[in-house]
Amino acid sequence: MGPAHLTLARDAGACGALTLDEHLVGASRTRSTNSLVTDSAAGATAYATGHRTYNHVVGEVPVGDPNDVDFTSGSNSASGATGPGPGPVTGPVRPAGTIVEGAQLAGMRTGVVTTTRVTHATPASFSSHVADRNDETEIALEQVYTLDLNVILGGGAAQFLSKDAFPERSARNDTRDLMADAKHRGYAIAFNAGDLNEAVAEIVRSGGIKGEETDQGGGDASEDSSTAAPFANRQFGPRVLGLFADSHLAYEIDAHEDSLAGFANGATPSRGDAEAPSLVAMLDAALVVLDAKFAEHENDEGFFLLVEAGRIDHGAHANDAGAVIGEMCAYDRAFKRAVEYVAARNDALVVATSDHDTGGVSVGCCDAYEVDVAKLNALKKSAEFVANDIVTEMLKLDGVVFDVPSATAANATVENAVRAIAIASLAAAGRDVSDASDSVGDADVSAIVAAAIEAIAAGDSVTHTYEGYELQNKIGEVMNRANKVGWTSRAHTGVDVPLFAFGVGAEAFRGSHDNFRVGQMMIDALGVDPVEGYKVFRDRLSIVDADETPP
């Protein structure tokens, strides 16, 4: 999220007045060690550890002075510009303690909540140490085994499902069943909003007894007492693992029949029990578990919680203003809920900011003194949804096989059929090819058809998400032209991002700070020691019990 995201959400979109605006205190400077343009791994690691690092690095920092900048590899161009895909680490790194490890050492409860995969760069930077953000197999393993996170909520079930039981869905590079392991370690498991409500109700009903005792997996509950021996002084507390999609959660604009209208007048659209919970619902569940008001018998040291509206970034990668505004609304509603929680007590602090701007979005473009708010609000679906819809409908075409040879030699009949699919899908999303004011030309449809055939030929499935997805990017561009919202990039940019704070110690955040300073200030505010915390938790992986899924 950058400054223009706020303007769009407040003044052009469905969210209306933003609670964020009431608590703006400054700016965070987002550069990484090796680039003025950070990725989420380096961006979030700065907040989690209080140290700068290289792009793509999660919870690890350069050896030496980690807050030095390093341009020696020419990385302000090449390595810094590779986006979220694989990229080089340009120097030796070492693990750095996180605010979560410091909090756990101090006896606090901890949690991560996100709308992306829970193994994605931002939550990963608060809960694992890996040199390459793409190593999500290892990130999930560390989340389950090395930390005592009480709350893990978001998407990314594919990183926890075993390859043996779910060969089609599992994204793991090993044969572990992390779902079973997590259950064994005392996590209540949730796959939808109803499960999450039930899990939280059960935790409250049982008085927040220790996680081991809530084990519903039939595993040997005594196992934890041996593997956890070095950490016997810590009470695990209740634990809940909610994974509501195989990959990222659906965009807000796609999650509701009436698109973003449910956000009008400060409301949050409601969802059914069978659906993924909203960001606010996940935050509410996390607060119940972490606050543990119901468990007065426990020595409550407080808690640390990370809440990420991670798909603001994804929508901006696709230059998709409708998707961005929906995610911004959800982010603001969650921030409002956190402010209400903090306001009701005298010992809490909420800090909000972002890892980086994405898209270099501008409010207005193309030499025009306007944004077409009506066109913006006419958007009903995300570019991701339209891309997946087109691919899904194409796969239903009778007798058409989109393999590589036929893709390059797509005949007129096939092309016309795909064209009709694309036009219908765009119309459902709020863009009418026959309406000149929607600025979608024949050439645009042809480009979408070509990208869709290429996508299927390349094996891109309906589960494909934003990264480097030409079909989605093309659709995003076409759907947004009429808005006159401008975009300068499909990657991140290095602009300073807004910083918000409310509660005890909020004054310290006033002004413009390096991102790692913001991390240090959060660590200071919580009064924890990440370095000592890391020392205590670093050997956790080496004591994984042989009884559990073999590596």
Please give the residue ranges that form the binding site for Zn ion (CB under 5 A): 313
Whichever of 177 and 357 has its CB closer to Zn ion, that residue is: 357
Buried b or exposed e, range 481-501, using 16+ CB within 10 angstroms: bbbbbbbebbbbbbbbbbbbb
Give the up-direction half-sphere exposure of residue 288: CA atoms within 13 A in the CB hemisphere.
18
CB of 118 to Zn ion, least distance (A): 16
Task: Identify which of 57, 113, 111, 105 has the alpha carbon closest to the alpha carbon of residue 80.
Answer: 57
What distance in Å separates the CA atoms of residue 475 and residue 426, rounded to the nearest whole number?
9
CB of 310 to Zn ion, least distance (A): 9
The secondary structure of 503-545 as a DSSP string is: ETTGGGG-EEEEHHHHHHHHHHHHT--HHHHHHHHTTGGGG--
| Cβ neighbour number for residue 471 with a 10 Å cutoff | 28
Characterise 240 by phi-psi region: left (phi > 0), alpha (psi -120 to 50), beta (else). beta
Per the CB < 8 A criterion, the answer to whether 45 and 94 are in contact is no
The secondary structure of 133-163 as a DSSP string is: TT-HHHHHHHHHHT---SEEEEE-GGGTS-T
Whichever of 138 and 313 has its CB closer to Zn ion, that residue is: 313
Whichever of 40 and 49 has its CB closer to Zn ion, that residue is: 40
In sequence order, which ranges of 292-401 are alpha helices (DSSP H)?
311-317, 321-343, 373-377, 383-395
CB of 309 to Zn ion, least distance (A): 13
CB of 467 to Zn ion, least distance (A): 8
CB of 136 to Zn ion, least distance (A): 15
What distance in Å separates the CA atoms of residue 145 and residue 161, rounded to the nearest whole number?
15
CB of 129 to Zn ion, least distance (A): 21
Rg over alpha carbons for the chain, rounded to the nearest Å, is 23
CB of 308 to Zn ion, least distance (A): 12
Task: Identify which of 470, 515, 462 has the alpha carbon closest to the alpha carbon of residue 490.
Answer: 470
SS3 per residue for 47-102? HHHCCCCCCCCECEEECCCCCCCCCCCCCCCCHHHCCCCCCCCCCCEEECCCHHHH
Q: In the bound complex, which residue of the shown chain has the CB atom lying closest to Zn ion? A: 313
CB of 534 to Zn ion, least distance (A): 26
CB of 8 to Zn ion, least distance (A): 17
CB of 462 to Zn ion, least distance (A): 21
| Cβ neighbour number for residue 346 with a 10 Å cutoff | 8
Whichever of 252 and 313 has its CB closer to Zn ion, that residue is: 313
Whichever of 313 and 384 has its CB closer to Zn ion, that residue is: 313
Whichever of 39 and 389 has its CB closer to Zn ion, that residue is: 39
In sequence order, which ranges of 396-529 are alpha helices (DSSP H)?
404-408, 412-428, 442-457, 470-480, 515-526
Grouping H, G, I as helix, E, B as strand and the rest as coil, residue 113 is strand
CB of 492 to Zn ion, least distance (A): 6
Whichever of 246 and 313 has its CB closer to Zn ion, that residue is: 313
Whichever of 356 and 381 has its CB closer to Zn ion, that residue is: 356
CB of 108 to Zn ion, least distance (A): 29
Whichever of 2 and 262 has its CB closer to Zn ion, that residue is: 2
Per the CB < 8 A criterion, the answer to whether 361 and 2 are in contact is yes
Whichever of 112 and 521 has its CB closer to Zn ion, that residue is: 112
Whichever of 6 and 161 has its CB closer to Zn ion, that residue is: 6
Per the CB < 8 A criterion, the answer to whether 113 and 282 are in contact is yes
Buried b or exposed e, range 412-421, using 16+ CB within 10 angstroms: eebeebbbeb
Whichever of 2 and 533 has its CB closer to Zn ion, that residue is: 2
